[in-house]
Structure 1
Amino acid sequence: MSIIRITKQFNFETGHALYGYDGKCKNVHGHSYKLSVTVIGSPITDTNNVKLGMVIDFSDLKKIVKEEIVNQFDHATVFNKNTPHIELAKELKQRGHNVILADYQPTSENMVIDFAEKISARLPNHIKLYALRLQETETSFAEWYASDN
């Protein structure tokens, strides 16, 4: 039985600010993120299964990632919950904006760790998260690999 990796890509827009950072990213700004989600498993061999030949139906993977990541983070602003930006966050929330107060500094590195935990928890037992790639700009991205963790 072959082991296969499949990947689905997602796009979303998110703003953030890096509390305590010594560069421009301390200011509120946004990115057009590209998230690549790779899972690994064996294609279904049961000829009575409507998903014969699939590791996971791309639409099932899409549902998980949309619910856990894209719908939450798209057009949201993410702040570290311990930031002095908390007053700005409260003001934005009062004005109807989508604000996420994270338990971490919202760098691509920390976001990809958070995303890995959320996606892994929702995958069927016979499928494992293999890798995530979160691209922040055309030339900058963070990667998470299960084999490293």
Structure 2
Amino acid sequence: MSKIRITKQFSFETGHALYGYDGKCKNVHGHSYHLFVTVIGIPISDSTNVKFGMVIDFGDLKKIVKEEIVDVFDHATVFNKNTPHVELARELEARDHNVLLVDYQPTSEMMVIDFAEKIKQRLPETIKLHSLRLSETTSSFAEWYASDNE
């Protein structure tokens, strides 16, 4: 049986700031992110299985990505916890804002690496994460490919 890739798209709104950056992105700002998740596997060949013919049910993939990424990052502000931005984060949290403190500079590049690790841990053994594309604007995106990271 042939290996097939399937892709599901997700959207979420997230704010961030890049500590130490030499441009406008050092300021707190936000993006309407679009995340494309592509997995690869062999469609289920057991005709008695309710998922017959599927690599993975789109609903099952949605559940994983929603729980690990969308529900966590949507309408949150992300800061690198290893910078003085932690002070701003504490102030926002005190005002009941949703703040995420991460171990990395919250660029699209670093976020997509984080997302890949989270998604890979939740996929069934028979399904592999093939690639992610995280768009922060209509013309700017970061991509992660399993083949580049073997």
- The bucket for the TM-score relative to the shorter chain is over 0.9
Determine the structure 2 residue equivalent to 1:99: 99
Q: Percent identity?
A: 81
Provide the rounded CA distance (Å) in 2 between the counterparts of 1:34 and 1:22.
25
Determine the structure 2 residue equivalent to 1:137: 137
Provide the rounded CA distance (Å) in 2 between the counterparts of 1:104 and 1:87.
16
Letter in 1 for 2:5: R
State the SS of the aligned residue for 2:47: coil
Q: Offset at 1:87?
A: 1.2
Letter in 2 for 1:30: G
Contiguous gaps of at least 5 residues in structure 1: none
**Residue 5 of structure 2 is aligned to residue 5 of structure 1:** yes
Provide the rounded CA distance (Å) in 1 between the counterparts of 2:21 and 2:117.
25
Q: Offset at 1:95?
A: 1.3
Q: Offset at 1:15?
A: 0.2
Provide the rounded CA distance (Å) in 1 between the counterparts of 2:72 and 2:93.
14
Q: CA RMSD in A?
A: 0.4
Provide the rounded CA distance (Å) in 2 between the counterparts of 1:83 and 1:14.
19
Letter in 1 for 2:10: F
State the SS of the aligned residue for 1:10: strand
Determine the structure 2 residue equivalent to 1:116: 116
Contiguous gaps of at least 5 residues in structure 2: none
Determine the structure 2 residue equivalent to 1:82: 82
Letter in 1 for 2:65: V
State the SS of the aligned residue for 2:11: strand
Letter in 2 for 1:58: F
Q: Offset at 1:84?
A: 1.2
State the SS of the aligned residue for 1:72: helix
Q: Offset at 1:94?
A: 1.2
Provide the rounded CA distance (Å) in 1 between the counterparts of 2:48 and 2:96.
48
Provide the rounded CA distance (Å) in 2 between the counterparts of 1:96 and 1:62.
28
Provide the rounded CA distance (Å) in 2 between the counterparts of 1:112 and 1:22.
22
| Runs of 4+ in structure 1 over 3 Å off | none
Matched residue count:
149
Q: Offset at 1:96?
A: 1.1
